[in-house]
Amino acid sequence: MAATSDSNVTAHSAKPHIGHTQLSICQLNVAIGQKTVLRDINVQFKSGAVTALLGPNGAGKSTLLKVLCQEISTPRQHIRLGHRQLTDWPRAELAKSLAVLPQHASLTFPFTVSEVVAMGLYPLTISKKSGEILVANQLAAVGLTSLKNRSYPTLSGGEKQRVQLARVLTQLSQSPFAPILLLDEPTSALDLAQQHKVLELARGLAHQQGYTVIVVLHDLNQAARYSDQLIVLKQGRIVTEGIPAQALSVDTIRQVWDYEPIYVPAPQGGHPLIF
Ligand code: ADP
Ligand code: MG
């Protein structure tokens, strides 16, 4: 491993964006078996912003993230990252700059918490000492320093979810430019306070360090509060997108979720409240 100075391993704040709209999808259709799971997807994700992906179960949210992290392959010309087609990025380079926290991460071998987070070092080329500092920083960021020597399989679901987040953040922390962070239901196993902490962390990475954050959420109020842009999917299509106060209308909620909400309009400068 090549040695780098430890001062290189902390923040991205000075790193350039690779374009104002660095990640975009154009005319994407995805079929799995006989079923079309995503249709006519055209969207641009802004760097320095949080985009929330919303929609009922089966809408295609996870599939969209899998396409972006190339777990599902797509024809060459449909997704662009910075100055290149996504498929043209060398895989090792892409791994430093684009990472996903999957909806389900199964790991039963008794690795310690630190060892799991250190798996995020894999695509990196830094010294052992720098790697240890990175792992410690990311464990602190998710509030798990005290559990660093615990066996991962013994953790609660919410603790495991935060360990996986620390692993993913470790993976991105050596990106040469502000990276892309994909989060698939990152709050699903977390208690209320931890949900807000993780979403605040994600928002901070976007607003302060220029990350492009794309997060699948089910809680409409959290999506409105923490995201800059909303994309609502239903049956594989984008139904609406825009800033939260506009994209989450009563009509949209009725149409997409088949649910009659109690809707408290946004107070001045705030977000609507939806129950
Ligand atoms: P969401 O994350 O919005 O709940 P997904 O993207 O996981 O939805 O799934 C979208 C649709 O695609 C669902 O109907 C799901 O059953 C189907 N699907 C996803 N992956 C597969 C697969 N590997 N085989 C068959 N169907 C799949
Ligand atoms: Mg999903």
The answer to whether residues 166 and 185 belong to one domain is no
Looking at residue 17, what is its pLDDT?
Answer: 53
Tell me which residue of 189, 183, 166, 190 sits closest to 227, measured CA to CA: 183
Sign of CA dihedral 169, 170, 173, 174: negative
* CB contact set of 161 (below 8 Å; sequence gap of 6+): 101, 186, 187, 188, 189, 190
Q: What is the pLDDT of residues 234-252, one digit of tens each?
A: 999 999 999 988 888 899 9
C-beta of 37 in contact with ligand 1 (< 6 A): yes
Ligand closest in space to the Cα of 32: 1
The answer to whether residues 125 and 244 belong to one domain is no
C-beta of 32 in contact with ligand 1 (< 6 A): yes
pLDDT surpasses 50 at 42:
yes
Compute the half-sphere exposure of residue 222: CA atoms within 13 Å on the CB side of its CA. 23
Query: Could you give the maximum distance between any two Cα atoms of the chain, in Å?
Result: 58
> What is the rounded (10 degree) CA torsion for 249, 255, 257, 260?
70
Looking at residue 246, what is its pLDDT?
Answer: 86
C-beta of 33 in contact with ligand 1 (< 6 A): yes
* CB contact set of 35 (below 8 Å; sequence gap of 6+): none
The answer to whether residues 90 and 149 belong to one domain is no
Residue 162 counted as domain residue: yes
The answer to whether residues 200 and 128 belong to one domain is no
The atom of ligand 1 lying closest to the CA of 57 is: 4
Ligand closest in space to the Cα of 55: 1
Q: What is the pLDDT of residues 45-66, one digit of tens each?
A: 989 999 999 999 999 999 999 9
Residue owning tokens 């009659």: 260
The answer to whether residues 202 and 263 belong to one domain is yes
Of 131, 157, 174, the last residue of a domain is 174
The tokens describing 177, both together, are 């430019």
Which domain does 272 fall in, by range? Answer: 22-97+177-275
The answer to whether residues 181 and 83 belong to one domain is yes
C-beta of 63 in contact with ligand 1 (< 6 A): yes
**Total structural domains in the chain?**
2
Q: What is the CA radius of gyration of the chain?
A: 19
Residue 53 counted as domain residue: yes
The answer to whether residues 162 and 128 belong to one domain is yes
The answer to whether residues 239 and 204 belong to one domain is yes
Compute the half-sphere exposure of residue 252: CA atoms within 13 Å on the CB side of its CA. 21
pLDDT surpasses 80 at 3:
no
Residue nearest to atom 5 of ligand 1 (CA): 60
The answer to whether residues 267 and 197 belong to one domain is yes
The values of phi and psi at residue 223, to 5°, are -60, -45
Q: How confident is the model at residue 85 (pLDDT cuts 50, 70, 90)?
A: very high
The answer to whether residues 49 and 140 belong to one domain is no
Q: Is the separation of the CB atoms in 54 and 233 below 8 Å? A: yes
C-beta of 61 in contact with ligand 1 (< 6 A): yes
Q: Is the separation of the CB atoms in 198 and 222 below 8 Å? A: no
Tell me which residue of 145, 137, 103, 108 sits closest to 120, measured CA to CA: 137
What's the whole-model pTM score? 0.91
